[in-house]
Amino acid sequence: MEIYYVYAIRSERDGRIYVGLSQNVEKRLNEHNEGRTKSTKGYIPWQLIYKEEVGNRLTARKREKYYKSGIGKEFLKSLQIE
C-alpha cells in the first residue's frame, strides 16, 4: 500500500508557507531546498513545519486542499514560532 504525506514548509526568507504532498517528505524538502521546484525556488531555504500521514493519494489531495484553504492556512500559521 502506498502511504502519502501532506506537508507544509515555511520559507526562512520571507515566512511564506507552501503545502504539498509526497511519499517521501525528506526527499521532497531537499528538492525544494536545492531549487528543483519552480514555484518555491525563489524563496530558499525552506523548513518543514508540519507533516501528516494520510494514506492514499486521493485522501492526501483532499487534505492538501484543506491546508491551502483559509482555515487550513490559519492552522499552519498558528504552528509558527518566531
Q: Domain residues for 48?
A: 4-79
Q: Name the band, by pLDDT with cuts 50, 70 and 90, for residue 1.
A: confident
Instruction: Assess contact for 5 and 50: CB atoms under 8 A.
Output: no
Would you say residue 82 has pLDDT above 60?
A: no
Cell triple for 82: 518566531
- Is pLDDT at 7 greater than 70 in this prediction? yes
pTM of the model: 0.93
Cα 4 to chain center, whole Å? Answer: 12
| pLDDT tens digits for range 52-67 | 999 999 999 999 999 9
Q: What's the domain count of the chain?
A: 1
pLDDT at 35: 97
Q: What is the CATH number of the domain that holds 20?
A: 3.40.1440.10
Q: Roughly what angle, to the nearest 10 degrees, separates helices 70-79 and 57-68?
A: 80
18-38: pLDDT as tens digits: 999 999 999 999 999 999 999
| Average pLDDT value over all residues in the chain | 95
